[in-house]
Amino acid sequence: MIPLEVRANVRVSPSFNRLTLGGAALAGFTSPGRDHAVRLFFPRTGQARLWLPSLHNDAWMAETLLQPASRRPWVRNYTVRDHRPEKQELDIEFALHGDQGPASAWAARARPGDPAGIFEEGYSYLPPDGADRQLLVGDESALPAILSILSTAPAALTGNVFLEVPETADIRSRIESPVGVQVKWLPRDGAGTIPGALALETVRKTPDLGTPSYTWIAGEAKLVTGVRRHLVNERRIEKKDIAFIGYWRHGRSSPG
Ligand X SMILES: Cc1cc2nc3c(=O)[nH]c(=O)nc-3n(C[C@H](O)[C@H](O)[C@H](O)COP(=O)(O)OP(=O)(O)OC[C@H]3O[C@@H](n4cnc5c(N)ncnc54)[C@H](O)[C@@H]3O)c2cc1C
Q: Which of residues 1-40 bind ligand X (CB under 6 A)?
A: 37
d(CA 54, CA 44): 18
Size of the site for ligand X (CB under 6 A): 26
Interaction between residue 104 and ligand X (CB under 6 A):
yes
Interaction between residue 78 and ligand X (CB under 6 A):
yes
Least distance (Å) between residue 180 CB and ligand X: 25
For ligand X, which residue has the nearest CB?
101
Least distance (Å) between residue 167 CB and ligand X: 13
Rule CB under 6 A: choose which of 141, 160, 177, 215 binds ligand X. Answer: 141
Contact 146, 247 (CB under 8 A): no
Rule CB under 6 A: choose which of 79, 134, 177, 215 binds ligand X. Answer: 79
Residues in contact with 85: Cβ distance below 8 Å, sequence separation at least 6, in sequence order: 26, 29, 30
DSSP 57: S
- Report helix, strand or coil for 3: strand
107 burial (CB, 10 Å; 0-12 / 13-18 / 19+) is buried
Site string for ligand X, 189-208 (x = CB under 6 A): ------x-------------
42 burial (CB, 10 Å; 0-12 / 13-18 / 19+) is buried
Interaction between residue 51 and ligand X (CB under 6 A):
no
- Sequential DSSP letters for 143-169: HHHHHHHHHTS-TT-EEEEEEEESSGG
Least distance (Å) between residue 129 CB and ligand X: 24
Interaction between residue 147 and ligand X (CB under 6 A):
no
Q: Which residues bind ligand X (CB under 6 A)?
A: 37, 76-79, 93-95, 97, 100-104, 140-141, 144, 195, 247-254
